[in-house]
């Protein structure tokens, strides 16, 4: 067998990424997108057009908080979108878990918006409230990603029915680890907020740890894809 060039290996790695081709957007996915759209509406800085320059400045001051909230919600939407693009099935468990996920998101959007508004100094908090806010946010954050992990657990258990290949099964397990690890960051933040109520900045900075499960699972999957590509060659 001749040695493969880096370009050939890269091409095979890209080819190995594909899951089964997905059918048209289902009613469940359409409903999910509508819920995410409604959640984004709840995040907007203001539903009314400012009728004075001072109100316009106040509205513009809320843009950083809106941008941060939007980014967080967009990440969750993309995680859910990726799941439905990968796994072409919607049995009772998928419907139930997805509906619970959407329910949690509609609740989570309020502490999400409130937290970033407080961080950008638009809302003043009294003593003890920052700690409680991080606990509420952390619980909601963890619930969202636990539900995403459960969706991947269900896909893994249905791997035979889905006809997943070995690499796809590996990536499914990696998805479980990714979202459980991400949920663990939310739990850690809530615990830190409870244990150190006077130092809530530590609870906030703990969310930078989200990069850890993402980087680890990304390296795991990347290494497996390259190995599969070399083996196939």
pLDDT digits (tens, 9 = 90+) for 2-45: 454 544 444 444 444 455 555 677 889 999 999 999 999 988 87
Q: Which residues of the chain have pLDDT under 70?
A: 1-23, 46-47, 122, 233
pTM, to two decimals: 0.86
Spatial contact of 194 and 131, defined as CB atoms under 8 Å apart? yes
**pLDDT in the model for residue 11:** 42
Spatial contact of 87 and 17, defined as CB atoms under 8 Å apart? no
Of 34, 112, 110, 35, whose CA–CA distance to 71 is shortest? 112
Region of 226 on the Ramachandran plot (φ > 0 left; ψ -120 to 50 alpha; else beta): alpha
Alpha-carbon distance 98 to 151, whole Å? 8
Alpha-carbon distance 203 to 199, whole Å? 8
**pLDDT in the model for residue 81:** 94
């Amino acid at each position: 067998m001749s040695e493969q060039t880096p370009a050939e290996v890269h091409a095979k790695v890209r080819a190995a990424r594909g899951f089964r081709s997905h059918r048209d957007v289902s009613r469940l996915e359409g409903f999910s997108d509508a819920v995410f759209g409604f959640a984004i509406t709840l995040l907007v800085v203001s539903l009314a057009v400012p009728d004075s320059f001072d109100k316009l400045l106040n509205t513009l001051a809320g843009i950083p908080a809106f941008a941060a909230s939007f980014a967080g919600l967009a990440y969750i939407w993309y995680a859910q979108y990726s799941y439905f693009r990968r796994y072409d099935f919607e049995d009772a468990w998928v419907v139930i878990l997805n509906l619970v996920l959407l329910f949690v998101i509609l609740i989570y959007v309020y502490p999400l918006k409130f937290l970033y508004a407080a961080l950008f100094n638009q809302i003043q908090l009294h003593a003890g409230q920052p700690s409680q806010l991080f606990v509420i946010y952390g619980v909601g954050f963890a619930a969202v990603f636990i539900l995403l992990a459960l969706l991947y657990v269900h896909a893994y258990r249905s791997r035979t029915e889905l006809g997943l290949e070995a690499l796809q099964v590996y990536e499914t397990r990696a998805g479980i680890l990714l979202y459980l690890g991400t949920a663990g960051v939310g739990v850690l933040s809530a615990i830190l907020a409870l244990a150190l109520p006077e130092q809530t900045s530590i609870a906030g900075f703990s969310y930078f740890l989200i990069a850890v499960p993402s980087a680890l699972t990304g390296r795991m999957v990347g290494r497996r894809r390259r190995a599969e590509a070399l083996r196939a060659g």
